Amino acid sequence: MPSSIRRVLYIDDDPGMARLVQKALTRRGYEVLLAGDAVDGLRLVDENDVHVVALDHFLPTGTGLDVLAALRQQADAPPVVYVTASAETTVAVQALKAGAIDYVPKTIEIEFIELLTSAIDQAIETARLRRAKERAEQEVREARDRAEALLAEVNHRVANSLAMVVSLVRLQSNSIEDKACRAALAETQARIMAIAGVHRRLYTSSDVRFVALDEYLLGLADDLRSSMRQAGSFSQLQLEAQPLTVPTDRAVAIGVLVTELVTNAFKYAYPDGQIGEVRVSLRAEADSHAAELAVEDDGVGWDGTGSAKGTGLGTRIVRSMVGVLGGELQWLPRGGGTSISVRFPLPSQ
């Protein structure tokens, strides 16, 4: 049947009024189906592609409200224009609450047909707009789901690729006898693993814009412990992190920062095979506008003055990451060992 045909089901136990409505609506371009009771009306809805139902209140058994209740159980029921001769407005209110899209007072005047036609036209247009809106929303949801799946796959592949790079660096390190070169390559591995850890978090996350920093640092701490053991250090690494969520790019900077601070502590705080403890803490300030990252040890101690030990690359990386975070780097006074604090703002989410 041509899509321009609009099919109306009129449910009324008054055959004279039903034929009058059928003739009037047919002249206006509608195809009109008639039903004299609720059972016949619901059957016609099931068997035909009905665009709108015009429903009388008084039926042989029950009322039109019972039909509305039955239609409301259907997934894609047509809109209903309620027809009532009752002078009480409570019937119309009950019908609208029960799911009717509009109502028309039933009279024998010609205005009734005009009002009914207008209400049916509006009901069909409203239903069309609702379906179009639902289709558009469904398309948006499907597009979003595809984009999220694609982004998760990208992060998965990036994490795997970075893991392969770490393995290649490790193989290269194993073929080098120079201890300084091997140590430098081990530090490079740790930096790459810090970045890979963020991507591992992202492809299992429901929101790739943010990273749960406490969970990420737990995984990073395990990686650093493993790296330090492979490098021959058996000092302990302790982590205490409050639940905190940050944007992805800031998580990368924080991961690299923690990697550098912890690696430097393992290298320089406990020289000549000494064993000690390195402690990392992360906490959000009370107003939640800033957070503090602290790394401390009980080793030989350094207050941040004078020349940095080693090549100084780690210190430059630390200062660079602090700059990315827009943070403030401080060496805090301690009776022994080193205590470093990085306070950085938390952007609004």
pLDDT at 272: 76
Distance, CA of 130 to CA of 77 (rounded, Å): 12
Distance, CA of 130 to CA of 153 (rounded, Å): 34
Residue 131 lies in a domain: no
**Is the same domain home to 308 and 245?**
yes
* Structure-block tokens of residue 41: 């009306």
Q: What is the DSSP string of 254-294?
A: HHHHHHHHHHHIIIIIS-TT---EEEEEEEE-TTSSEEEEE
Which of these three, 85, 106, 127, is where a domain ends? 106
- The answer on pLDDT for 5 being more than 80 is no
| 3-class DSSP assignment, residue 15 | helix
Residue 193 lies in a domain: yes
* Structure-block tokens of residue 40: 């016949």
Greater pLDDT, 99 or 200: 99
**Is the same domain home to 22 and 162?**
no
**Is the same domain home to 171 and 257?**
yes
**Is the same domain home to 86 and 171?**
no
| 3-class DSSP assignment, residue 329 | strand
**Is the same domain home to 62 and 207?**
no
Residue 129 lies in a domain: no
**Is the same domain home to 268 and 177?**
yes
* Percent above pLDDT 70 for the chain: 93
Exposed / middle / buried, residue 13 (Cβ in 10 Å: 0-12, 13-18, 19+): middle
**Is the same domain home to 171 and 84?**
no
pLDDT at 252: 87
**Is the same domain home to 78 and 172?**
no
pTM: 0.57
* pLDDT level of residue 2 (50, 70, 90 thresholds): very low
* Structure-block tokens of residue 156: 């998965």
* Percent above pLDDT 90 for the chain: 34
pLDDT at 1: 39
**Is the same domain home to 85 and 167?**
no
Contact at 8 Å (CB) between 84 and 98? Answer: no
* Structure-block tokens of residue 34: 């008639």
Question: Which residue range(s) make up the domain with 272?
Answer: 139-345
**Is the same domain home to 23 and 77?**
yes
Which of these three, 62, 89, 106, is where a domain ends? 106
Residue 221 lies in a domain: yes
- The kind and range of the H/E element at 323 are helix 313-325
Phi, psi of 312 (to 5 degrees): 85, 0
**Is the same domain home to 70 and 183?**
no
Residue 134 lies in a domain: no
Among residues 7, 18, 19, 10, which one has the least CA distance to residue 40? 10
Across residues 288-293, what is the average pLDDT? 87
* Structure-block tokens of residue 38: 């609720």
* pLDDT level of residue 264 (50, 70, 90 thresholds): confident
Residue 115 lies in a domain: no
* pLDDT level of residue 153 (50, 70, 90 thresholds): confident
Residues 303-333: tens digit of each pLDDT: 666 565 666 777 888 899 999 999 999 988 7
Token pair 């080793």 is at which residue?
299
| 3-class DSSP assignment, residue 52 | strand
* Structure-block tokens of residue 181: 């070169």
| Structure letter (DSSP) for residue 110 | H
Greater pLDDT, 248 or 68: 68
Domain count, the chain: 2
